[in-house]
Structure 1
Amino acid sequence: MNVTFILLTLLIGALLTLASGKKLAHTTALLFSILGFGFSLFLLNQFNNGTDISYQVQWISKPNISFALKADGLSMLMVLLNTFLTPVILLTTIKKDYKNPHILYALVLFMSFAMTGTFLATDGFLYYIFWELALIPIFFIALLWGSDTWEVRKKAILKFFIYTFAGSLFMLVAFIYLYQKTGSFLLADLVNTALSSTEQTWIFLGFFLAYAIKIPIFPFHTWQADTYEKAPAIGTMLLSGIMLKMGIYSILRWQLPLTPNMNEGILNTVIILCLIGVIYASLIALRQSNLKRLLAYSSMAHVGLIAAGAYTYTTDGYHGVVLQMIAHGLVIVGLFFLTEIIYARYQTYTIREMGGIRSQAIKFTSFFMIFMFASIGLPGTFSFIGEFTILYSLSQINLMYALLGGTTIILGAYYMMKMFQKAVLGPQNKNTFADLNTNECLILAVLAAAVIFFGLYPKPLTDLLFTSIV
């Protein structure tokens, strides 16, 4: 099967969803998202059988731009994460009544299409196009279907758009400079470019600004909490579960291979910024009364640690980062979905207005405990493997880095368990809390099963990491 089939499926699905009308929009989007996941599994089977999963044709002659796609172990894992979480996220909205649902769900599929292209592209210019295309649908999803007043929401979402778009321009400048040196945007050509230490530094910083904003890394994080809070649940899950992984993936795929001999001082500075973000976000999370904002800062702390692991330039860091990206995607989507279930019952995100859930909803409480423990890296859950491997990679660079990074586990355990105690175990809210319905149970069971299974047996994923383009 041609690798372009998965892109065509998602793109055609977005167009048909838009044309299907309000009544059939969700069904159409869900069908094509499941097809996309099915195609990704088929590609995985071909990849495991040794088939070359690539496609390349000349797109533009001047400048020399190719429509080049290729799947290796790294990109295959990210495509699987994207195409798995997209139908899961769509299932969370099965009983939601959105205005103009055909437009919303078409944007979701288009975003999935663009993110898949980002993970598969091996031409720098094509990669940049997909990177920017992914920003457009989430901008409109958050702006048009988000919470709060129009003015407040618009301010937060515009800040997010301007920050991420402006940061990406520095990456584009870096690509253009590399093209002038090689006459090609192809990754295989760019990695062989002879660059001086000064040139590598500027290329590294150009990419860093784009990725530091997208992930985000301290101090480029100021858009995140407001955007996560104002976006609708479906937008928050897409942002936290998949989109921010584009930045971390790109560090491994583009930034590090193109700058293999970076100045140690700059690398240490970047790692320190990442670790500052871990501690800063964890401390801010301790003070949050809004559950969505608490999870936003918790996510920032976790991805700060992931980014720090990526910049260690070690094999252990590489493996830990990829595993933790997938684990974080599964766990954070589960946590935001649980948050949305609470909101549907209690009509609030304020933690002190919740409580008494355990005595009314045993199934909900059980799943909340699983994802809470997974979030703090309890052994036996998927997050433990990635976090342990990342901390080990940091210890190879500097033991103090590992100790500082480890604060995310200690502080995370404190604020997550404190939140759980107040939101789930506290005195009963004045409203009743209905336990999970069949659809909610199915979604959480699938996510929880993946978190536990790969926590106990990550070998199917680690085997894929031994193959990469670069």
Structure 2
Amino acid sequence: MDVTHILIILLVGALATYFSGDKWAPKVALLFGLAAFAGSICLLSQYNLANEINYVTLWIAKPKIYFALHADGLALAMLLLTTALTPIIIFSSFGNTYKNSKAFYALILFMTFAMAGTFLASDGILYYIFWELSLIPIYFIALIWGNGDAEERKKAVVKFFIYTLAGSLFMLVAFIYLYQKTGSFLIRELSQTDLSATEQFWIFLAFFLAYAIKIPLIPFHTWQAEVYQKAPTVGTMLLSGIMLKMGLYSVIRWQLPIAPMAAKEFMYVFIGLGIAGVIYGSIVALRQKDLKKLLAYSSLAHVGLIAAGAYTLTLDGLRGAVLQMIAHGFVVVGLFFVAEIIFRRYETRAIAEMGGIRAQSPKFTSMFMILVLASVALPSTFNFIGEFTVLYSLSQVNIWYAILGGTTIILGAYYMLKMFQHVMLGETNARIFADVTFNEGLTLVIIIAVLFFFGLYPKPIIDLITPSLENILTQVNRFN
């Protein structure tokens, strides 16, 4: 199977969904989402047979820009995450009714197309185009189908759009400067460019501004909680489950190999920023009264730890970061879906207005509890593998980084279990909480199964990503 087929499936799927009409749009979108996931599995089988998965053709002659795609183990892992979560997210939305649903589901597939392209692109300008394309659908999804007051929602979404677009422009300037030095935008050429320490610092900083906003890292996080809260739950799932991984992936794929001297010189600064995000996100989450906002700040804490692991410049750090990216993608989608299930019945996200759900829906309570425990890295869950590996890598740099980074487990356990207590336990709420439907239960079971399977047997993912990460570290250490 050609690597371009995944992108074609998603792009054609977006068009087919739009023209299928409102009635059939959800089912058509789910069909193409599943087809894209099946295509990713086919690519994985080719990769396991040691077949090169590349597509390179000259796109624009001057400046020389290639339509270049490359699927190594790292890119395949992120592609599989993207195409696995997309049908889950689409299926989870079947309990909602959306006005102009054909446009809504078409935008979901188009966003998936752009995110998949970002993970696969190996030409800087093509990567930048996919990176920016992913902004368009989430802007409209959050603006048109979002929650709350229209003016507040517009303000939050526009802020997010401007922040992200402005940060990305610095990355574009960096690519243009690198082209002047090499005459190429291809990653393999850029990562071999002989740059001075000063040049590497500015290139590194330009990339950092783009990625720190997207991830987000503090102090570039101010857009996140409001957008997560105002966006429809499907949009929040896409943002937290997949889109923020674009920034974390790009740190490893683009930033570290192109500017390794700057990464080493300022390693402690960026690890510190990641750990600061862990502590800040956890403390702010403790004070939240809105369920979606609490989960948003919890996500901020987790991605801060992932970024800290990536900036250790060790194999364990990079491997732990990628494992935690994938684990976080599934658990955060599951948690936001739980919030949506509760909202469908109570029409509120205020934690104080919930309670007593356990007495009415013990099955839902059990599944929610499993996701909470996975979020706080209970051993045997996927999150434990990623967080333990990241904390181990931080201890290799400095034991205090590991101790401070470990607060995400302690504080996370406190605010997540406290939230669970208020939402699910206590006196029975006066309002009836109907038990989960088949579709809702199936979605949660699939997510929980993934978290347990790879929590007990992470070897397939470790074997997939390790060779790519070793190659990246070789490029990072080329100046030693």
TM-score by length of 2: 0.97
Q: CA deviation at 1:269?
A: 1.2
Q: Quick check: 1:349 aligned with 2:349? A: yes
Q: What is the Cα deviation at residue 466 of structure 1?
A: 2.4
Which residue is 1:385 aligned to? 385
Distance in 1, Cα, partners of 2:277 & 2:259: 24
Shift of the alpha carbon at 1:224? 0.2
Q: Residue in 2 aligned with 1:200?
A: 200
The Cα of 1:169 is off from its aligned counterpart by 0.5
1:467 Cα offset (Å): 2.6
- Partner amino acid, structure 1, of 2:229: E
| 3-state SS of paired residue (1:68) | strand
SS at match of 1:359: helix
Q: After superposition, what is the alpha-carbon deviation per residue over 1:272-311, rounded to whole angstroms, capped at 9, x for unaligned? A: 1111111011000000010000000000000000001001
Q: State the alpha-carbon separation in 1 of the partners of residues 145 and 391 from structure 2.
A: 39
Aligned letter for 2:244?
A: L
After TM superposition, what 4+ stretches of structure 1 lie above 6 angstroms from structure 2? none
Q: Which residue in 2 is equivalent to 1:439?
A: 439
What CA RMSD, in Å, does the superposition of the two structures yield over aligned residues? 0.8
Post-superposition shift, 1:90? 0.3
Counterpart residue number, 1:154: 154
Distance 2:113 2:166 in 1: 22
Counterpart secondary structure, 2:418: helix
- What is aligned with 2:142? 142
Q: Which residue of 1 aligns with 2:215?
A: 215
SS at match of 1:58: strand
Q: Which residue of 2 aligns with 1:405?
A: 405
Name the structure 2 match of 1:310.
310
**Which residue does the alignment assign to 1:292?**
292
Question: What's 1:68 paired with?
Answer: 68
Specify every segment of 5 or more residues in structure 1 that has no aligned partner in the other structure, as ranges: none
Equivalent residue of 1:358, what SS? helix
Matched residues, percent identical?
A: 64
- Asked whether the 8 Å contact 1:319–1:465 carries over to 2, the reply is yes
Displacement, 1:264? 4.4
Q: Secondary structure at the match of 1:158?
A: helix
- Which amino acid in 2 is paired with 1:32? F
* Aligned positions of 1:368-383 closer than 5 A: 368-383=368-383
The aligned amino acid for 1:105 is: Y
Give the aligned partner of residue 249 of structure 1. 249
C-alpha distance after superposition, 1:145-188 (max 9, x if no partner): 00112111000000000001100011111111111100000001
Q: Kindly provide the CA deviation profile for residues 201-231 of structure 1, in whole angstroms up to 9, marking residues without a partner as x.
A: 1111000000000000010000000000000
Displacement of 1:4 in angstroms is 0.3
Contact 1:351 1:419 in 2 (8 A): yes
Amino acid at match of 2:205: L
Q: Which string of whole-angstrom CA distances, capped at 9 and with x for unpartnered residues, describes residues 206-263 of structure 1?
A: 0000000000001000000000000001000000000000000000100001112226
CA distance in 2, matches of 1:280, 1:443: 31
Contact residue 197 and residue 263 of structure 1 kept, 8 A: no
Determine the C-alpha separation between the residues in 2 that align with 1:322 and 1:337: 23
Rounded Cα–Cα distance in structure 1 between residues aligned with 2:382 and 2:264: 31
Separation in 2 of the partners of 1:288 and 1:317? 31
- Residue 266 of structure 1 and its aligned partner are, at CA, apart by 2.0
Corresponding position of 1:108: 108
Alignment of 1:250-289 (within 5 A): 250-262=250-262, 264-289=264-289
C-alpha distance in structure 1 between counterparts of 2:149 and 2:316, whole Å:
46
The 1-side partners of 2:415 and 2:428 are apart by 21
CA spacing shift, 1:141–1:263, aligned 2, 3 Å? closer
For the pair 1:322 / 2:322, whether they are aligned, the reply is yes
Please report how far the alpha carbon of residue 458 of structure 1 lies from its aligned counterpart in structure 2 after TM superposition: 0.2
Question: Helix, strand or coil: the match of 1:219?
Answer: coil
Q: Partners in 1 of 2:427 and 2:389 — Cα distance? A: 39
What residue identity is the alignment partner of 1:205? L
Number of residue-to-residue matches in the alignment: 470
User: Could you tell me how far apart the structure 2 residues matched to 1:146 and 1:131 are?
Assistant: 22
Q: Which secondary structure does the structure 2 equivalent of 1:130 belong to? A: helix
Q: Which amino acid aligns with 2:315?
A: T
Residues 268 and 136 of structure 1: CA distance in aligned 2, closer, same or farther (over 3 Å): same
Tell me how far apart the structure 1 counterparts of residues 264 and 14 of structure 2 sit (CA, whole Å): 45
> Given residue 196 of structure 1, which amino acid in structure 2 is its aligned partner?
S
CA distance in 2: counterparts of 1:441 and 1:424, whole angstroms: 17
Gaps of 5+ in 2: 473-480
In structure 1, what is the Cα distance between the partners aligned to 2:187 and 2:426?
54
Q: Is the 8 A contact 1:30 1:91 kept in 2?
A: yes
Q: Distance in 1 between matches of 2:284 and 2:86?
A: 30
- 1:97 maps to what in 2? 97
Instruction: Specify the code of the residue in structure 2 equivalent to 1:298.
Output: S
SS state of the match for residue 57, structure 2? strand
Equivalent residue letter for 1:417: L
Residues of 2 paired with 1:49 and 1:284: CA distance? 47
Shift of 1:270: 1.3
Q: d(CA) in 2 for partners of 1:177 and 1:278? A: 34
More displaced stretch, 196-205 vs 267-276: 267-276
